[in-house]
Amino acid sequence: MPIPIHSARLRRLSPGEPTTGPVVYWMSRDQRVSDNWALLAAARQALETKASLVVVFCLAPNFLGATIRQYGFMLKGLVQVEARLRQRTIPFCLRLGEVVPSLAAFVREINASLLVTDFDPLRIKRRWKDQVIDAVSIPVLEADAHNIVPCWEASSKQEYAARTIRPKIHRRLDEFLTNFPELPAFARALALPPVDWDAARQSLRIDHGVTEVDWLEPGENGARDLLTRFIAQRLEHYGQRNDPNAPVLSELSPYLHFGQISAQRVALAVMASNAAAESRKAFLEELIVRRELADNFCWFNQAYDTVEGFPDWARKTLDKHRRDPRAYVYDLDDLEAAATHDPLWNAAQMEMVAAGKMHGYMRMYWAKKILEWSASPEEAMAAAILLNDKYELDGRDPNGFTGIAWSIGGVHDRPWFERPVFGQIRYMSAAGCARKFNVKEYVRRFQG
Ligand code: FAD
Ligand code: FO1
């Protein structure tokens, strides 16, 4: 019985029909065995052509400045991937060194007939894929294993806001928010040596100065346990999600970022729960609409990490206020050391540095203050992205680039009352926060 997969989840990146020979799943964004449409597509092709299936992950020596905090979490998750695949007699191979040449060599070495990979809107991934397609002579298939409605199905253009993509996503959920077929076990496998995880860690050229975190158990098992706990204990109170002192968030973003759990699986579990409809609806709006809007932005706007990616009205208003006097100007070192005049901002920075995950509501305030205290919007973008991606476990993600562009450049937002420095970019203040939650309590929790 072939593995049922909605054809719209797959797209061919390069022409040609697969011949005989192993099918390779080049795992990158979706680092899990369960509920993975890219792995299921590779498995289906291998079964249909009676070929063997191999999963390969290419470990980049330094991926967009990631530190041992993120690589440590990711590698622990990949150890579980190798073990779970072994249970199904599917070999897992970890390739080290520059990604494109090492993958192309692997494809040649095992005489692969088809390469399947997973969708990712980030520039670096698109570049890797373009170069891999030039380097190999076999067909390449891509599956969107990250979004519920595949990015290229949800919309054919950059969307203005959540309100414009929401109906386009909602009308396709019946078609795509389905259960997953089982991944079959294979009878035989290519004999590949087990992974040398020490050599993998040695191959990294990364900053070891940011501590790894220990409050989350990396990998698929930890993700599933956390989802169960979230639904049982916190989802009901998700209406308090804008209070950074209320422990009601799912904390799933590191797992979603590394693809250690499927957003589709999370959505199915939340919908099946008996939490109040209001809580489920609010959570699914973030998990499905906001998250897929971020992929849409990064996919259709390749200037997603610069001021050029902002809407025209935002660029104009920020230009108009470029020379406004700044009451405070901080450089990257001041910000990184949480050494500003604002205890609330400093506490948010310290939460991120210490825990590797700043509360979602504080991320908006945090980024907006960087705009207010930087010499230019360009410097604000650079500082916010650098700090976000250095310390957040879930950094280097379309959600991050989009969240920062929303905060600093009005992406997916609209013009507000004009004021110095911000122009018509939505403003947030500590006084505004104090009207929403207990600022003193939050500051007390995180001051050094
Ligand atoms: P929950 O509230 O439990 O949400 C569950 C999931 O829904 C999240 O894991 C995420 O996948 C999605 N989600 C929630 N809020 C948003 C949102 N605003 N935009 C897109 N998806 C959302 N998210 C990252 O994954 N990585 C980042 O680097 C990142 N940086 C951000 C920077 C700024 C300035 C802003 C304003 C937002 C940023 N976000 C980022 C989005 C959001 O803050 C986090 O996804 C969320 O706080 C993660 O915590 P959680 O999983 O406990 O959230
Ligand atoms: N993807 C890879 O294919 N190889 C890597 O070595 C790799 C390292 C890495 C480190 C930190 C991080 O946050 C992401 C990393 N990714 C890597 C990419 C990740 O899987 C996601 O695809 C993107 O970051 C989000 O789209």
Q: Give the pair of three-digit tokens for residue 125.
A: 């991934």
CATH code assigned at 125: 3.40.50.620
What pLDDT does 448 receive?
A: 64
For residue 124, the CA-to-ligand 2 centroid distance in Å is 10
CA distance 157 to 154: 9
360 and 288 assigned to the same domain: no
Residue type at 43?
A: A
Element (DSSP H or E) covering residue 95: strand 92-96
Full domain range(s) for residue 347: 307-447
Does 285 lie in the same domain as 367?
Answer: no
Reading the block at residue 402, the tokens are: 């989009």
Q: What is the pLDDT of residues 356-410, one digit of tens each?
A: 999 999 999 999 999 999 999 999 999 999 999 999 999 999 999 999 999 999 9
Which atom of ligand 2 is nearest the CA belonging to 258?
20
Nearest 5 degrees, angle CA 13-CA 18-CA 22?
105
CA 286 to chain centre: 13
Answer yes or no: is 71 within a domain: yes
Q: Is residue 63 part of a domain?
A: yes
> Ligand 2 center to residue 90 CA distance, Å?
22
Q: 116, 146, 176: which is the final residue of a domain?
A: 146
Ligand 2, CB cutoff 6 Å, lining residues: 28-29, 58-60, 63, 66, 70-71, 74, 120, 122, 258, 395-397
Residue 187 lies in a domain: no
- Report the atom number in ligand 2 closest to the C-alpha of 394: 13
On whether both 325 and 433 belong to a single domain, the answer is yes
If asked whether residues 5 and 141 sit together in one domain, one would say yes
Ligand 1 binding pocket mutation candidate from 286, 352, 362, 369 (most atoms within 8 A of CB): 286
Question: Beta strands 140-143 and 10-14: pairing type?
Answer: antiparallel
CA distances to 246, 321, 357 from 404, rounded to whole Å, are: 23, 19, 15
Query: Atom 1 (ligand 2): residue with closest C-alpha?
Result: 28
CA distance 220 to 284: 21
- 111 to each of 84, 216, 408, how far by Cα in Å? 25, 39, 48
Please tell me whether residues 244 and 326 are part of one structural domain: no
Whether 200 is in a domain gets the answer no
Helix axes 377-391, 398-409, angle to 10 degrees: 150
Distance CA 156, CA 169 (A): 12
Are 216 and 254 in contact, with CB atoms under 8 Å apart?
yes
Number of structural domains the chain divides into: 3
The domain boundary residue, chosen from 250, 275, 300? 300
Q: Please tell me the distance from the alpha carbon of residue 9 to that of residue 119, in angstroms, as a whole number.
A: 10
Beta carbons of 132 and 103 less than 8 angstroms apart: yes
C-beta separation of 262 from 123 below 8 A: no
pLDDT tens-digit readout, 189-230? 899 999 999 999 999 999 999 999 999 999 999 999 999 999
Q: Residue 239 maps to which CATH number?
A: 1.25.40.80
Phi, psi of 180 (to 5 degrees): -105, 145
Q: Give φ, ψ of 58 to 5 degrees.
A: -95, 110
Residue 182 maps to a domain = no
CATH code of residue 396? 1.10.579.10
Longest Cα–Cα distance of the chain, Å, equals: 70
Q: Three-state SS for 117? A: strand
Measured by CA distance, the residue closest to atom 48 of ligand 1 is 253
Report, as ranges of residue numbers, the positions in the chain whose pLDDT lies below 70. Answer: 448
Tell whether 394 and 269 lie within a shared domain.
Answer: no
